[in-house]
């Protein structure tokens, strides 16, 4: 079969289980696609073809024995270079960590393997996974396959670039302030930031994280179809005893009326007209699919949530982060830390207590919204995907980027799920929308996402633009 790499993960798994395509054929097709387009993109920065083919051979052997190989039977999947994969360096985009070789897998890798996935390669991220742009001093720059002049997003920029270009059918990413949702938006694919506690996480190769990142960072999937996001979420979510934050919540919650809160301009974002038009178009698609859409003038506090999340993420241990960034010498990481210094430092015990206390009030206000509405529909960003490296241009550009990203930065503070749905192109620049719901209601995000997806042009893997 030609162009196996173009298939959805759902369709490919069905073909492999029915023995119409072998896992070995799918793996070879993925490796060939990687060889063909990755030199233009630098999306995958580490992969071992012999190991990929060995994983696939094991899947085929299990199918030959009529064993259940899991929902992702033989599907090639990429993983981000900031999680532990046994025998590989957990670099997180750092020269300082290029010799940090994992002795065990993170829970998400173990869960993917148990689901039958074939781990194809490791995808790039900015240094420390700090930025919405993907470049570093150890692996280099990642390009957006839609347009090399715009960012592929970050921090999971390699993940989004890879899956958009057909390198793997699903990509793993992580998100503390938009790092799944923004790359999906920038590369024209879909990306889900799950609820805190949904997908287990742990990197034995690295020190324990401070409380802020523990509460706000999650792993999640990026893919070209919402159906693939759905099966990837199920594959990544099973319990792992190494993560005390994990919650045994069902993937399907109780039914809710199909009511959507539409907010075109959350908390003074003032999005550009193209973004507003995309959100309004998604609302019309939902209405045509039988959802009731009610426009609201504002969300619960989002800008304040973004400010607190930034403090918890960058302020907790700020001096240690800055010292490490200075040793690394990465200009983007230093720009991120220095540009936010006045917002996050100093951050002492009293500031931490105040932030966590206020967080509880904000969560309560947000959860009240989702008692009334199944989902909230709003922008991913206030702007179309940025010119690459815009945040390093000057102080005004840095401030512009952080202002536009407020809808992404705020949501993690409440631990809520957020789904980026790619809705189309403005010229050749992708645009999309963000769907948010209550805790552990990824199912509602996905249901709304499927309705929006069905009302537009189906997504497909693309060849990198020149």
The answer to whether residues 105 and 111 touch, using CB atoms and an 8 Å cutoff, is no
Which three-class secondary structure state does DSSP give residue 363? Answer: helix
CA distance 12 to 367: 38
Instruction: Please state the domain extents for the chain.
Output: 4-454
Query: Does 155 qualify as catalytic in the annotation?
Result: yes
Q: Given 8, 129, 155, 161, which residue is catalytic?
A: 155
pLDDT in tens, the chain (466 residues): 669 999 999 999 999 999 999 999 999 999 999 999 999 999 999 999 999 999 999 999 999 999 999 999 999 999 999 999 999 999 999 999 999 999 999 999 999 999 999 999 999 999 999 999 999 999 999 999 999 999 999 999 999 999 999 999 999 999 999 999 999 999 999 999 999 999 999 999 999 999 999 999 999 999 999 999 999 999 999 999 999 999 999 999 999 999 999 999 999 999 999 999 999 999 999 999 999 999 999 999 999 999 999 999 999 999 999 999 999 999 999 999 999 999 999 999 999 999 999 999 999 999 999 999 999 999 999 999 999 999 999 999 999 999 999 999 999 999 999 999 999 999 999 999 999 999 999 999 999 999 999 999 888 999 999 7
Query: Does 17 qualify as catalytic in the annotation?
Result: no
- Count Cβ atoms within 10 A of the Cβ of residue 330 and give its class: 0-12 exposed, 13-18 middle, 19 or more buried: buried
Would you say domain 4-454 falls under CATH 2.40.10.340? no
> Which conformational region is residue 140 in: left (phi greater than 0), alpha (psi within -120 to 50 degrees), or beta?
left
The answer to whether residues 200 and 161 touch, using CB atoms and an 8 Å cutoff, is no
Q: Given 8, 17, 22, 80, which residue is catalytic?
A: 80
Q: Any residues with CB less than 8 A from the CB of 440 and at least 6 apart, and which?
A: 195, 197, 198, 247, 249, 250, 253, 417
Query: Does 179 qualify as catalytic in the annotation?
Result: yes
Which three-class secondary structure state does DSSP give residue 295? Answer: strand
CB hemisphere CA count around 354 (13 angstroms): 9
Q: Given 8, 106, 179, 437, which residue is catalytic?
A: 179
The answer to whether residues 118 and 76 touch, using CB atoms and an 8 Å cutoff, is yes
Which of the 8 DSSP states describes residue 131?
Answer: S
């Amino acid at each position: 079969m030609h162009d196996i790499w173009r298939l959805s993960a759902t369709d490919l798994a069905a073909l492999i289980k029915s023995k119409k395509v072998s896992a070995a054929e799918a793996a070879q097709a993925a490796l060939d696609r990687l060889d063909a387009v990755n030199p233009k993109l630098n999306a995958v920065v580490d992969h071992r073809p012999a190991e990929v083919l060995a994983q696939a051979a094991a899947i085929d052997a299990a199918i030959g024995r009529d064993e259940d190989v899991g929902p992702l039977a033989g599907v090639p999947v990429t993983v981000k270079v900031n999680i532990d994969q046994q025998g590989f360096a957990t670099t997180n985009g750092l020269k300082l960590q290029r010799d940090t070789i994992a002795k065990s897998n993170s829970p998400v890798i173990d869960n993917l393997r148990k689901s039958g996935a074939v781990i194809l390669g490791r995808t790039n991220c900015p240094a420390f996974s700090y930025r919405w742009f993907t470049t570093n001093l150890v692996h280099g720059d990642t390009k957006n396959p839609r347009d090399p002049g715009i960012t592929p997003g970050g921090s999971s920029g390699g993940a989004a670039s890879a899956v958009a270009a057909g390198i793997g059918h699903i990509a793993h990413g992580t998100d503390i302030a938009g790092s799944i949702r923004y790359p999906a938006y920038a590369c024209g694919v879909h990306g889900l930031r799950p609820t805190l506690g949904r997908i287990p996480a742990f990197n034995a190769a690295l020190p324990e994280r401070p409380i802020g990142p523990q509460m706000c960072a999650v792993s999640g999937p990026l893919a070209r179809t919402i159906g693939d996001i759905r099966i990837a979420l199920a594959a990544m979510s099973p319990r792992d005893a190494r993560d005390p934050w994990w919650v045994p919540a069902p993937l399907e919650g109780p039914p809710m009326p199909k009511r959507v809160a539409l907010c075109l301009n959350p908390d003074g974002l003032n999005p550009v007209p193209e973004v507003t038009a995309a959100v309004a178009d998604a609302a019309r698609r939902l209405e045509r699919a039988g959802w009731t859409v009610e426009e609201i003038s504002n969300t619960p506090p989002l800008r304040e949530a973004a400010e607190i999340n930034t403090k918890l993420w960058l302020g907790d241990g700020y001096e240690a982060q800055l010292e490490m960034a200075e040793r690394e010498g990465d200009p983007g990481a230093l720009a991120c830390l220095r540009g936010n210094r006045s917002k996050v430092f100093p951050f002492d015990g009293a500031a931490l207590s105040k932030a966590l206390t206020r967080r509880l009030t904000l969560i309560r206000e947000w959860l009240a919204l989702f008692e009334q509405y199944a989902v909230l529909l709003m922008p991913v960003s206030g702007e179309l995907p940025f010119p690459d490296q815009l945040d390093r241009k000057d102080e005004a550009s840095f401030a512009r980027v952080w202002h536009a990203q407020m809808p992404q930065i705020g949501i993690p503070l409440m631990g809520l799920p957020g789904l980026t749905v790619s809705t189309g192109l403005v010229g050749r620049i992708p645009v999309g929308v963000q769907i948010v719901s209550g805790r552990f209601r990824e199912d509602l995000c996905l249901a709304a996402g499927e309705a929006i997806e069905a009302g537009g042009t189906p997504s497909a893997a693309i060849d990198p633009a020149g």
